[in-house]
Amino acid sequence: MVQDTRPSGAPFKRLFFALPVVDAQCRALAQWRRSLSLRSGRPVPAENFHVTLVSLGDVDAGQVSSICAAVDRLTLPQAPLRLVLDRMQVWPRADALVLEPEQAPVALRQLVYALHQALLPLGIAAPTREYRPHLTLSRDFRGQLPEAGEAPEFFLTARHFTLYESRKGRYWPLAEWPLAQ
């Protein structure tokens, strides 16, 4: 298993929780994004499309099992999470072009809150900003919101969520938890 190290030499991983996007929807999203004829930014590879739940940042590699154990103890939604990505936005501070839901489902916000609460005893602090579910289409994006010939409307159904490691531009699943029995 490849690990990065901190200046102190201690191994760490860049981790985040996310809702994965199925292959057919990744292809549909990539095709829709191509129709935008973007002239700015670096398109996110379609295989990396996901809806971020919680970004943990750099975490000591030895904490991964404790993180998984904390999530194992959560009471999770017993139904798939459904959301509609129907609003394209430019996030200037992040230099990103994203798709967001006009309305974030309550169950999604509850899951994110529960994840934050489960991670607090491990020293992983909750962010100070309000959670905004999103799927990143392009990084290093600067400029105005592109015109879309067809409005975005992507219906996502997540039957599980995943803990990913970000390594050299690829996202590697480390563990997953079901949202429906």
Q: Which amino acid belongs to residue 175?
A: A
Q: How many domains does the chain have?
A: 1
- 3-class DSSP assignment, residue 2: coil
Show which residues are catalytic: 50, 134
| DSSP annotation string for 99-152 | EE-SS--HHHHHHHHHHHHHHGGGT-PPPSSPP---EEEEES--SSPPP-SS--
Task: State the CATH number of the domain containing residue 66.
Answer: 3.90.1140.10
Domain presence at residue 93: no
Domain presence at residue 119: yes
Q: State if pTM tops 0.95.
A: no
d(CA 37, CA 58): 34
Q: Which domain holds residue 162?
A: 4-82+106-129+158-178
Domain presence at residue 32: yes
Tens digit of pLDDT per residue, the chain (181 long)?
Answer: 444 544 455 688 999 999 999 999 999 999 999 999 998 899 999 999 999 999 999 998 999 999 999 999 998 887 889 999 999 999 999 999 999 999 999 999 999 999 999 999 999 988 888 899 999 999 999 988 998 888 899 999 999 999 999 988 889 999 999 997 5
